[in-house]
Amino acid sequence: MNPKVESLKKIYLFHTLNQDEMLHIAEKIHDVHLPPRNVLYDIGEEAQSMYIVKYGTLQISTATSHGDDVNLVSLSAGDHFGELPFFDAEKRSAKVEALENTELYELRYHDLQEMFNHNREMETKFYKEVTHYYIKRLRKLTNDLTYARELRRRFA
């Protein structure tokens, strides 16, 4: 069995794809190695790819208007990131830095779009999974904001 396909099967974005669709993605992804403290990309850079963490840990951060780093989240095996510019064609909105030796799969936007242009069913499956992911994130954000407002009300 193809090791890339086996890795992709574990990632929710792709778990509904059939074997042929998985093989097609596996043919298009590229391996990327990041040593500790290396930055993959920074805020404001042009975006051409999304990434899936094969192993290792990454820190996603942004900066305040005063230039202070704000850590948003740490990512590890099975997590994906960098997909937002695929949807809105904007530049990178965060910095991504390896905290330890990290291996990634890179999927270039033009390869992803080409696959979708030839397989609309695959595109539908992908967007459905992305939608579920963002709904979960939105619900968590809503709960976090509610909690923060309640704390502020209690201690203000």
- pLDDT, tens digit only, all 156 positions of the chain: 788 888 888 888 888 999 999 999 999 999 999 999 999 999 999 999 999 999 999 999 998 888 888 898 999 998 889 998 999 999 999 999 999 999 999 999 999 999 999 999 999 999 998 898 889 888 988 988 888 888 888 887
Integer Cα distance of 70 and 19 in angstroms: 40
Task: Check which CATH number belongs to the domain holding 142 and give it.
Answer: 2.60.120.10
3-state SS string for 105-124: EEEEHHHHHHHHHHCHHHHH
pTM of the model: 0.84
| pLDDT score recorded for residue 7 | 84
CB–CB of 92/45 below 8 Å? yes
Q: What is the residue range of 83's domain?
A: 3-155
CA distances from 32 to 78, 103, 135 (A): 15, 6, 29
Total domains in the chain come to 1
| pLDDT score recorded for residue 46 | 96
CA distances from 133 to 13, 23, 60, 126, 142 (A): 9, 23, 17, 11, 14
| pLDDT score recorded for residue 98 | 98
Residue 13 is given by DSSP the state: G
